[in-house]
Chains A and B, each alone.
Chain A
């Protein structure tokens, strides 16, 4: 009876599958039992510095002070994506965002009830200027943002819908033109800044959803130039020398806030989470950020510890536009969304 054989075979296969199926895997992050777990969601480029330096340093510190193991689980994506995930109910306890506007969105969504501005440095954990990345030898002769408007340049630029870095990049280009016209003629020329931005966006050939994805696209050989965080450029140059970093004369320093997502923090976890957040402004953590090519938030002298960080001639911050409360509606919305994107 061949029938019997096949029944037995099928029963064995089913049993085998049930064997696999019934044992849910143990998360590697929880294999130690005991201890506390901190869930952190961060914008795309925070991954390396946290996983390589900050997490181990804090875990060691907490272990020696309290004898308790601290583990971290984390997820990284574009800043707007992370913010939306948390608003939709993801159980993040801490979030590091690219733009303060996302922290405000979390506050309006009642996920965050504490005031991050009451933290050291108004909640900003680190900074980094915006630069241009080009292919080795700079074949297209790009020396500043305005050169990205030249016809025939293929530009990779992250998507402002999902990426905080993309919004910084727009502010960097627009503000850089304002500041340079101001230096030349005494008044900032908004019309010219808008024209430059429009011309640059005609050259955009790809808008990946985060700064990190934009870099991956550029790395795969697509495009002549990429506007991104300085640390992305340095990481890419370290990994593979086929790129050059072009430092614009005037560019913005992006400032990255951290928030405690109070909705997901139990009273029992609060002490360790607050200790972790405050740890980020210690010299130890700030040095770790600098080693990973960020700029320090606490003490500019630490910048000296990383020789690869460039000197910016005319740096500015979002305060130049009056903070994110004004920069978002006035530049990202009314300049970019209404006058640049619509005209493409």
Chain B
């Protein structure tokens, strides 16, 4: 294998390092980096003034806010549920436990359009339950902000759980037992011992859920009714703009897309830098 070694080191210079970094970047360029860049180029091609006014259009502002708020509530719910489910499933063994774990993870594999239709088929005016609870002539649950939150909860259901559960699984029980022997109640133990060591998992689970929910399209377009300025989230607004015949619609659509891209960038940067910090804190505590 002398030849390989000679490839790896040329006069003490490590060839493998720049080569592998180069290959990685060369693969990322056409697949991820350049497409993202194109959004910025198109979004900015009519100048910053146009970009800003597209962003400040009342319906665009509303769509962005609606996305943030519906994602926020879906995140709150899914993190709380993820904590509960992770706790229950790692502490107790019961009949059907594995079936529950599989069921929680299912929404990752279900096409989002199917998720949207599933909600309609249950809660819609002709749905199995909706028929009785929300008849066509009365108030609806579907086609409202709540329907968007429900859709977001459905599609991001497993994310927070998936991050939190492994931490529960590997957490040493001795600390909890110690706190119990000092006479702490279950609740105190949870609050002062269990929760602090979960901090990193909770934050990253929440950010992942939030990032995924903000970009949700497939289920939202079915359950929201897609009314501009009422139930139109940012991704739906972008889609409507792509299909709009106005001059400058593409640039306006990409202006909103830029905001969403930047938001994801911020979220994942926080995720990357804050996780280390939170883990460190947890160890110090």
Contact = CB atoms under 8 A, between A and B. Distances in A.
**A and B: interacting chains:** yes
A155 B134 CA distance: 44
B108 interface: no
Interface stretch (A43-51, A177-185, A193-201, A325-333): A43-51
Given A17-B72, A21-B69, A239-B247, A89 B228 contact: no
A73 B244 contact: no
B205 to A, nearest CB: 14
A258 B124 CA distance: 25
B230 A73 contact: yes
Contacts of B245: 45, 47-48, 212, 215, 232, 235-236, 239
Interface string A99-125: 000000000000100000000000000
A73 B284 contact: no
Contacts of A15: none
Interface string A1-34: 0110010001000000100110011111111000
B225 A28 contact: no
A310 interface: no
Contacts of A28: 58-59, 61-62, 229
A48 B69 contact: no
A47 B227 contact: no
B193 interface: no
B188 interface: no
Interface stretch (A74-82, A144-152, A166-174, A273-281): A74-82
Interface of A is mostly: helix
Contacts of B76: 21
A89 B125 contact: yes
B240 A76 contact: yes
Residue among B68, B244, B284 with max Cβ neighbours from chain A (10 Å): B244
Contacts of B227: 39, 73-75
Nearest to A232: B245
Contacts of A111: 136
Contacts of B285: 2-3
A77 B143 contact: no
Contact of B242 (A25, A29, A89, A216): A216
B126 A24 contact: no
A44 B243 contact: yes
A6 B230 contact: no
Interface residues of A, number: 41
B66 interface: yes
A210 B124 contact: no
Contact of A24 (B58, B59, B145): B145
A89 B124 CA distance: 7
Nearest to A48: B245
A17 to B, nearest CB: 6
Given A25-B65, A88-B126, A3 B281 contact: yes
B62 to A, nearest CB: 5
B125 A88 contact: yes
Interface of B: 58-59, 61-62, 65-66, 68-69, 72-73, 76, 120, 124-126, 130, 134, 136-137, 140, 142-143, 145, 196, 199, 203, 225-230, 232, 240, 242-247, 278, 281, 284-285
Interface of A: 2-3, 6, 10, 17, 20-21, 24-31, 39, 44-45, 47-48, 73-77, 85, 88-91, 111, 210, 212-213, 215-216, 232, 235-236, 239, 263
Given A3-B284, A20-B68, 7 more contacts: A25-B65, A25-B66, A45-B245, A75-B225, A88-B120, A89-B124, A239-B247
